[in-house]
Chains A and B, each alone.
Chain A
Amino acid sequence: MLQAHSFLWHYLWLAPNVLLLALAFLIYRNGLRKIFPAFFAFAILNSLGQFALYIADVAPSITAESFWRVDWASLLIEGPLKFAVVAEIFARVFGSYDSLARLGRLLIRGVGIALALTAALAAAYAPKDSLFGIVSGAHLLEQTIYLIASGLLLFIFVFSAYFGLRPARPVFGIALGLAISSCIHLAIWAVAANAGLPPERRVILDFAGMASTHLSVLIWFYYLLVPQKVPTKSSVPLPENNLDVWNRELERLVHQ
């Protein structure tokens, strides 16, 4: 069952990308394309890249080296797109609040730089494979992309939770799906790039990665297309207390 080119393997590679392409179409039809342009581009290009990679894998005429070249090309497109989606999430969560936007931008730049340095260090200390440099290089690039992406997404989650902010449902869904996928892929590529597993064991990592992508796509479907339950009360009841005392004391406090 958990073997390369088994039915499950084909399903897990193709189904999430077919669904992602369908999601892009539905996003276009619902008018969400203008609200989430980066995610819309990511949904299309990521699924097309994976289709190209799948064809390169199953077509007997394509050599192993050509497969890895396609993988590199796909990664070089997907990587920046993932960061564009993260930037879009950040802008949607914090951009509309003047009091937080500047501090948030400052902090996320700092976190981004720290993560890039950490990823560079991790790549520098990873074992090098001189025989199959194109393969180990692709693994390291995956590890680098997912290390930075998951770190940035963790920052967005923690920062918004600290301030009690509740992002809109579609933004939260995009962030959650991407974060789950990034964290699981980070673990997978860290093992693939550093643990020196034999090829037959690496297949399990492939299955885990593809399953996490499938889960993320389902999360995106749920949060982007299933409407939120309308709360029975639009506003919360106001607490009872003595405002006069508070105001008097506050004025004295501020104007001292």
Chain B
Amino acid sequence: MTLAIVLVIAAALALIFILGITVSRSLQVSETAGLAAKIQPIDVAAFRNLVDPAEDDYLRRRLPASEFRLVRRQRLRAMAAYVQTAGRNAAVLVRMGQSSLTAGDADTAQAARQLVDNALLLRRNAAFALLRIYVALAWPNSGLAATPILQGYERLNGSAMLLGRLQNPAAPVRISAML
């Protein structure tokens, strides 16, 4: 009987999750026009400083071990906030790109496809990077590679620029400015 209860609860939870995702999907359809406003700007200079290994090496040399761990954890938390924002922006760009996938113009559709692929890559890298950041939070002395995130940004920027240029030649570069 216990097994039956466990399986019934698991099935009910799975059904609730699936229906929740379905409802949120149908709500998203109506708010496609306001997607761009959901992209949050990121201070690139600050992010660049946070992921710089030379900065970490400098702090490690200059600070006592206990203080370094404290500072490193604060930097990692800030880094996680940036990566989370980048991941959320990537998810918004996936939706923006998907809305242009069926465009009649082949160039726009191709650019949209490229944008979606690169945004998915960034979202994936953001998930991996977050995992590594949380591991590093537990062991602040370990190394941390954020390179995939940076590479993802570079590719995403190019795709967003191309799609923006094709969709709106008068203002070709606005979409990627907010990443």
Segment at the interface with A among B14-22, B58-66, B69-77: B14-22
A245 to B179, CA, bound (A): 11
Q: Is A62's CB within 8 Å of the partner chain B? A: no
Q: How many A-B residue pairs have CB under 8 A?
A: 174
In the bound assembly, the distance between CA atoms of A179 and B18 in angstroms comes to 8
B178 & A187 in contact (Cβ 8 Å cutoff): no
A235 and B153 form a contact (CB under 8 A): no
Q: Check if B1 sits within 8 Å of A195, measured CB to CB.
A: yes
Q: Given A143-B7, A190-B4, A195-B4, do A241 and B174 touch, yes or no (CB 8 Å)? A: yes
Find out whether the CB atom of A186 lies under 8 angstroms from the CB atom of B11.
Answer: yes
A161 to B37, CA, bound (A): 20
Which of B18, B24, B32, B164 is within 8 Å of A180, CB to CB?
B18
Distance of A191 Cα from B11 Cα, bound (Å) = 11
**Are A99 and B117 CB-contacts (below 8 A) given A238-B168, A246-B176, A250-B44?**
yes
Are the C-beta atoms of B95 and A164 separated by less than 8 Å?
yes
B91 touches A254 (CB 8 A): no
Size bin of chain B's contact surface:
35 or more
- Interface residue count on the A side (C-beta < 8 Å): 58
Checking A164, A184, A195, A246 against B177 with a beta-carbon cut-off of 8 angstroms, the contacting residue is A246
Contact residues of A: prevailing secondary structure = helix
Most chain B CB neighbours (cut-off 10 Å) among A164, A166, A176: A164
As a 0/1 sequence over residues 119 to 147 of chain A, the CB contacts with chain B under 8 angstroms (1 = contact) are 00010011000000000000000010001
Segment with Cβ contacts to B, from A42-50, A66-74, A151-159: A151-159
Q: Are A234 and B117 in contact, CB atoms less than 8 angstroms apart?
A: no
Which residue of chain A lies nearest to B90 when distances are taken between CB atoms in the complex? A164
Nearest residue in A to B179 (C-beta to C-beta)?
A246
A58 CA / B22 CA spacing, docked (Å): 38
Please give the distance in Å from B24's CB to the nearest CB on chain A.
7
Instruction: Tell whether B141 is near chain A: CB-to-CB under 8 Å.
Output: no
B136-155 vs A, Cβ < 8 Å mask (1 yes, 0 no) = 00000000000000110110
Q: Which residue of chain B has the shortest Cβ distance to A195 in the bound complex?
A: B4
Give A123 Cβ to nearest chain B Cβ, in Å.
10
B81 in contact (CB, < 8 A): no
Is B28 a contact partner of A247 (Cβ separation < 8 A)?
no
Return the contact of B150 from the options A157, A234, A254 (Cβ within 8 A): A254
Separation of A186 and B99 alpha carbons in the complex (Å): 35
Min CB distance B141 to A, Å, is: 23
> Chain B's nearest CB lies how many Å from the CB of A205?
11
Q: With a CB–CB cut-off of 8 A, which chain A residues contact B10? A: 186
B151 touching A241, Cβ below 8 Å = no
Give the B-binding residues of A (Cβ under 8 A): 97-100, 103, 122, 125-126, 143, 147, 150-151, 153-154, 157-158, 161-166, 172, 176, 179-180, 183-184, 186-187, 190-191, 193-196, 231, 233-247, 249-250, 252-254, 256
